[in-house]
Amino acid sequence: MAKTKTSYFCQSCGFESPKWLGKCPSCGQWNTFVEEVVEKVNAAIPDWKAAGNKSSTSLQRANKAVPVADITFAEEHRILTPDKELNRVLGGGIVAGSLVLIGGEPGIGKSTLMLQIALSMPVAKVLYVSGEESDRQIKMRAERISTVGGQKPEIRGQRLDAEVSITNTQPSGTSQQAGCFILTETSTQNIFKQIEQLQPDLVIVDSIQTLYSAHIESTPGSVSQVRECTAELLRFAKESSTPVFLIGHITKDGMIAGPKILEHMVDTVLQFEGDRHHVYRILRAIKNRFGSASELGIYEMLGAGLRQVSNPSEILLSQRDEALSGITISATLEGMRPMMIETQALVSPSAYGTPQRSATGFDTRRMNMLLAVLEKRCGFRMGTKDVFLNITGGIRVEDPAIDLGLAAAIISSHEDIPISSKICFAGELGLSGEVRAVNRIEQRIADAQKLGFEQIFISKYNLPSGKKDKNQLDLSRYNIEIKAVSRIEEVFGLLFG
C-alpha cells in the first residue's frame, strides 16, 4: 500500500514544511502555505521508462565518478528550425535533450508561436500536447497559420501534415514529410504512453500547470504537481535526448507561476513580452545553459501568425517628414545583435513645486544621473523642469551606450532645436562629463552605415592608439563620418554651435 502523508507547501517558492507556518523561512512571504496531500506510488522507475522506452543509459553511466580529464567533450547537436529568431534566442538552435520553459501573459501568443514551430519543423515528428484546448480549437488556429512555404497545412483528424521543402540539406528533387501530432491530455502517464508509441523528435506541452501525475494526490497547478510533472519530463528529455518545450503561466507580478525551482530545473527560460494590444512581440532569454542569456527575437503578430522581424530598426525607428526636437537615434546591442533605437525626450517647465521625472523603457535612476551631469557639468538648469523619456518600440534598454543619445535628446528638447535624423550616437556618459568607450563599436558603426546614417558620435577612446585594445577600430573600413569626442560639452558644441 502506498503511504499517504500531508505536507504544507509555500505557493511562492515551493518550500515544504511538515506543519503550517505563517512566514516562509525560504522566501520570507507571509500566509503562503497551503496543505496538500502527497502520495508516492512507485517513483523508482519513471513512467516513460516503464512503458518500454530504453533508448538511453546515460544516467547509469553518470552514476560512476569519472576524472574530469577523461571526459570527452563534443559539441552539442542542435536542431535548426525555420524560425531564425528562435534559433538566435536559443543560442543557435534547439539542443537535443534540452528542457525549455516559455512564459508570458495570457493572449500574448505563446501557443501560436509553439504551434507555428510545430507545423513548420523540417523532417521532424512533433507531438503537441495541450491540456487547455480541444483538438478542434487547435485545428482552427492551425488553419490560420502559414508554414514555411506560405502554404496552409493539410489537417487529417488529430494529425496535422505539412509539406516542407528542404534546402541545402537534401538533394534537389527530394521532399520530406513533417508530421505534427496533436494530443489533448493532462495525465503524464497517458502522455508517456503516447510518446512511447509515437517516438517524436520534439515534444511541446501547453501548459505545465495543467498536467498532473498519479504519483501525487493534489490538484493540477499546485506546487507539488508542477514540480513532479516537470521532474518526469526532465528525466524523459535527458535520458531519451528529446527536446521538450513547456509553456508556463505567469502571475500578476509578471513572474512564472509555480515554485521557483521550476526555473532552476529547466535548461532555458524564455519570456514572451509585449503589449497584447500592439502587434510587436519580443522573445527574450532569461536563462540559457547553451548560449547567451542576453539575446532577443522580435516578432510581428499578424492574422496568419507571427512574422519574424529580421531588421529590428524598421519598428524602432519612426518615419517622419519634418525635423522635431527631442528625438535622437542611438546604437545599442542586445546580446550580439546591433539595433538602432529612437530615444525621445520632453522637457517642459514644471507646473508644481516638485518636477516630474518619468522614463519608459529606461532606468529612472540612470535618467536622474544624466540630468545631474547636464546641470553640474554643462550648466543646464533642470531643477525646475519636468523631464519625460521614452524608448520607442515598447522595449526596455539597459545598454549604457545610449547615454549620449539620451543627453542629446534632453538638450534638444530643452533648447527646442531639432537634431538631424541622419545623426546617431554611441557612447556612455560618466559622472565627470566624459564620454566613455563602449564595447563592440565596430558592429554599431557598421549597422549605422548600413541604415544610411551620415554621422555617428562615439568616444575618442574607441579610436586607435599606440597600444592594442580590443575596443579600438579601424576608421578606413567605414564610409560614415565618425565624430570622436571626449566630453559632453564637445558634443553640444558640434550639434548646436
Candidates 222, 254, 272; CA nearest to 100 is 272
Whether 471 contacts 437, CB under 8 Å: yes
In angstroms, rounded to a whole number, what is the distance separating the alpha carbons of residues 53 and 192? 9
Q: Is 104 annotated as a binding residue?
A: yes
274 is in an annotated binding site: no
CA distance 49 to 27: 35
Looking only at the bridges linking them, the beta strands covering 202-206 and 125-130 are parallel
The cell for 455 is 554621422
Please give the single-letter amino acid code of residue 256: I
In sign, the C-alpha dihedral spanning 380, 384, 390, 396 is positive
- Dist CA 281 CA 92 (whole Å): 20
d(CA 306, CA 320): 27
Which residues, in sequence order, are bridge partners of residue 391?
343
Of 257, 336, 287, nearest to 98 by C-alpha is 287
Q: Is 317 helix (H, G, I), strand (E, B) or coil?
A: coil
Q: How far is the C-alpha of 428 from the C-alpha of 460, rounded, in Å? A: 12
Residue 108 labelled as part of a binding site: yes
Cell of 356: 516630474
Rounded-to-5 percentages of helix, strand, coil across the chain: 30, 30, 45
Give me Rg for the CA atoms of the chain: 27
Q: Do residues 236 and 196 touch, judged by C-beta distance below 8 A?
A: no
> By three-state DSSP, how is residue 90 classified?
helix
Q: Pick the closest to residue 389 from 415, 408, 417, 416 (CA basis).
A: 408
CA-CA distance, 427 to 361, in Å (whole number)? 18
Whether residue 111 is annotated as binding a ligand: the answer is yes
Binding-site entries for ATP = 104-111
Binding-site entries = 104-111
